[in-house]
Structure 1
Amino acid sequence: MRAMHIRDLDLNLLVLFDAMLRERSVTRAAAEVGLSQGAMSHALNRLRTFFDDPLFVKTPAGMEPTQKAVQMGTTITEVMTALRERVVSQASFDPATARRTFVICMTDMGELVFLPPLVSCLRKVAPHCTVRSVQVPLEHIEATLAAGEADLALGSVRTAPDGLYQQQLFLHTFVTMVSVHNKTIGTTISRAQFEHAPQIVVSLTGRASAAYDSAFEEYGIKRKVFLTTPHFLVVPHLIHAQPDLIATVPLELGNVFAKLGTVRIIPPPVPLPPFALRQHWHPRFHDDPANIWLRQLVKLTFDRYPEIDDDS
C-alpha cells in the first residue's frame, strides 16, 4: 500500500466514521450527519480505500465494525469528543447545556455584594456551570485576566490598567457604621464626633483610600485612623468588640453588616461622592462567546443596582 499522510485524508470523513461506529447503519448514520444514503455510501467507500479495509461489514445485526475499525474507533471517538467539547463549543455558548467554571476576581466585599444575586441567576440559566471567586492583588489583575486564569474582575479597580476593557455596573454611596452599643452617637454624627472617634479603614493596598482621602480633605476633616485592614469582613466584629470604633463603608456593605444586629449605619458627616463598581476583562477574551455571555449576565443583574441616580 502506498504511503499515506494526514493531508490525504478528508477529516470530514472521520465524522462519518464516528456516526457509523455508533449507529451501525448506513441509513441512520447518513440521517445523523445530514447526507443522503448514496452520499454516505460513497464516503464510506473513500474511507475503505484510505484505510485499505472494509471497516464495516453487513451482518444480520447491522453494519458491524471490523477489527481494524474497532481498534481505530477508540482514538477517533476521543478525537471527535475533544473537537466537540473543546473546539466547536467555543464557536457559541449555550448556558443551558454548558459545563464550565467561571472564575471571577473580587474582594471579600465583592463576594458579599456580587455573589448572592449572581449565583442565583447562574443556577437558573446555567445550571451545569460553577463559579470560583479569587482575590488577586491589584497589580496582578491584568496578568491574571490575560492568562485566562480569571474571566472577569468585579469591583472598584480605580487603578485598572488602560489595556483592560471595563464597563460600569452601578454607583455606590458611603455610610458610616457604628456599634449598636455606642450611646454617644445617635442617628447622625457631627463633624466633631467623626474626627474624635477612632476609625477603621479598609484598604487593599495597605494605604488609606484615595477616594476617601480626597473627599475628606476637601472638607478639611482629619480622621483618627486606628486600624487599616485589607478585609471588610472583620470590620463589624471589631466594632462590636470595641463600640467606640467607627468605619465608613459602601452603602450595600453597610446594609449587609447592619443585618447582623451588632452595628447600625448612619450618614457620614459630609456628603461623599459615589464611586463606580465595574466589570473588567482582557482584550484577548473580548470576543469569546462564554465571556460575552457572562458579561451580559453580570450587566443585566447589576444594571443600576442599587438604583442610585447618576446625575453626571
Structure 2
Amino acid sequence: MRLEKVDLNLFVVLDALYKEQSVTKVALLLNLTQPAVSNALSRLRKLFDDQLFVRTPEGMLPTPVADNVIADVRKALALLGRSILSNTRFHPAQSEKLFRLGMNDLAESLLLPKLRLRIKQEAPEITVQSYYIDRTMATEDLKSGGLDLLLDVPAVNAKEFNHVPLAQLPYVVAMRKKHPLSKLDLTLEGFLDSEHLHVSSRRKGRGQMDIALHALGQRRNIKMRVQSYLVAIEIASQTDLLWTAPKVLAEKSGLHTSAVPFNVEPLSWNLYWHKNADLDPASQWIRQLLMEVVSEVLGQP
C-alpha cells in the first residue's frame, strides 16, 4: 500500500488504544464517537493484516504485531509533533495546548492546585493532564512524546533527557493527634519499637529512612505498605502506625509531627524533559511555570 493513501490519524488512534486499552476511553480522549474509533481500528486491522487488539475481560490487549510496531509509531508521531511545534510560535494566552505531566499523588496534591490557578490567569485555554505511571513507562513516554515533563526522584538516567533539580522535601515522623508518642520526645528506641507505614509505588524496596537506618545497623517494623500519600494520611490519622513523611504534607494534613530521631536525606525531585524539547517555546514556558509554582508552594528557589 502506498503511504500517501494511508490516513495518518489512524496511528493516533493506534497509539491511544495501546495506552488506554479501551475503545470508550479512546473516544473520550480523542473527542471522537465510539463508532469512529471502532471504524479506525477496523481500518488499522486491514492495514496491518492483523487483529492488533483482542478484547478480554481486562480490556483490549495488544497482539504481538501491535507490540512490535508501537515504538516506531510513537517515534513517528513525536517527530511529526516536534516538526510542527518547531515552526509554530507559542502564545500562552491564546494557546489551547494540552500538557501531559508525569508525577505521583504527592506532587499532584502539592503543586497542581497552584499550577491550575496560574494557568487560569495566564493561559486559560491550556489543559493539563497528570499521570502516575511506572518509571520505565514514563521514560518511554517522554521519548515518544506521550509525556511533556516528568517529575521524579533522581533515578532517571537516559542520555535523551535533560533535567533540573526541582525541590528538596525534608522528612518528619507523622502520627495521629492522640498517639501515645505524641506527648513524648521521639527517640530512636521509640521509633524502632513502633510499627510503621511506608509509601512506595514499588512492591518491594527500601525508602530513604530504611537506607539511613541500615547505616546504623537498624531496621524498622513496616506493617503496611501503600502506593498513595493521600491514603497514607487516612491510615496514619486512624491507626497507631508511624509514618515518616514529607514535612510539608504531614503538617498540611493536620497530623502530629515529630523530628526524625536520626539523620535522613530529604526527598529530592528532579524535573525531566526530552532534549528535543529544549528549545520548544511551549516546553520552556511550562517548565518555567512549574519551577515558579514550586518556589511559591514550597518556598524553594
**TM-score normalised to structure 1 length:** 0.65
Structure 2 residue identity aligned to 1:168: P
Within 5 Å, give how 1:274-285 maps onto structure 2: 274-285=266-277
Number of the residue aligned with 1:221? 218
Q: CA deviation at 1:187?
A: 5.4
Number of the residue aligned with 1:239? 236
- The count of residues paired between Structure 1 and Structure 2 equals 219
Structural RMSD (CA) = 2.3
**Alpha-carbon distance in 2 for matches of 1:197, 1:134:** 34
1:151-195, CA deviations, whole angstroms, 9 ceiling, x for partnerless residues? Answer: 101132424434321111221100111011212332531111100
**Alpha-carbon distance in 2 for matches of 1:150, 1:167:** 17
1:257 aligns with 2:253: yes
Moved over 3 A (4+): 86-90, 159-163
Structure 1 pair 279/138, CA: closer, same or farther in 2 (3 Å)? same
Number of the residue aligned with 1:270? 262
Structure 2 residue identity aligned to 1:257: S
Q: CA deviation at 1:109?
A: 0.8
Range with greater deviation from structure 2 (203-212 or 102-111): 203-212
**Alpha-carbon distance in 2 for matches of 1:188, 1:160:** 40
**Alpha-carbon distance in 1 for matches of 2:201, 2:85:** 40
**Alpha-carbon distance in 2 for matches of 1:184, 1:176:** 11
1:197-249, CA deviations, whole angstroms, 9 ceiling, x for partnerless residues? Answer: 1101111112243422221222333201111122111112112332x211101
Number of the residue aligned with 1:298? 290
Q: 1:185 aligns with which of 179, 182, 187?
A: 182
Q: CA deviation at 1:305?
A: 5.8
Q: CA deviation at 1:304?
A: 8.3
Number of the residue aligned with 1:107? 104
Number of the residue aligned with 2:14? none
**TM-score normalised to structure 2 length:** 0.67
**Alpha-carbon distance in 2 for matches of 1:211, 1:158:** 13
1:79-133, CA deviations, whole angstroms, 9 ceiling, x for partnerless residues? Answer: xxxxxxx948853211111111111011111111121221121111111111111
Larger Rg: 1
Number of the residue aligned with 2:279? 287
Structure 1 pair 151/142, CA: closer, same or farther in 2 (3 Å)? same
**Alpha-carbon distance in 2 for matches of 1:173, 1:162:** 29
Structure 2: unaligned runs, 5 residues or longer: 1-82
Number of the residue aligned with 2:193? 196
Structure 1 residue identity aligned to 2:111: F
**Alpha-carbon distance in 2 for matches of 1:236, 1:109:** 11
Structure 1: unaligned runs, 5 residues or longer: 1-85
**Alpha-carbon distance in 2 for matches of 1:135, 1:122:** 21
Structure 1 pair 122/308, CA: closer, same or farther in 2 (3 Å)? closer
Q: Does the 8 Å CA contact 2:172/2:246 hold for their aligned counterparts?
A: yes
Residue 118 of structure 2 aligns to a residue in which SS?
Answer: helix
Structure 1 pair 280/149, CA: closer, same or farther in 2 (3 Å)? same
Residue 206 of structure 1 aligns to a residue in which SS?
Answer: coil
Identity of aligned residues (%): 22
Number of the residue aligned with 1:119? 116
**Alpha-carbon distance in 1 for matches of 2:277, 2:86:** 15
Structure 1 pair 215/307, CA: closer, same or farther in 2 (3 Å)? farther
Structure 1 residue identity aligned to 2:106: M
Residue 186 of structure 2 aligns to a residue in which SS?
Answer: coil
Residue 221 of structure 1 aligns to a residue in which SS?
Answer: coil
Number of the residue aligned with 2:206? 209
Structure 2 residue identity aligned to 1:287: L
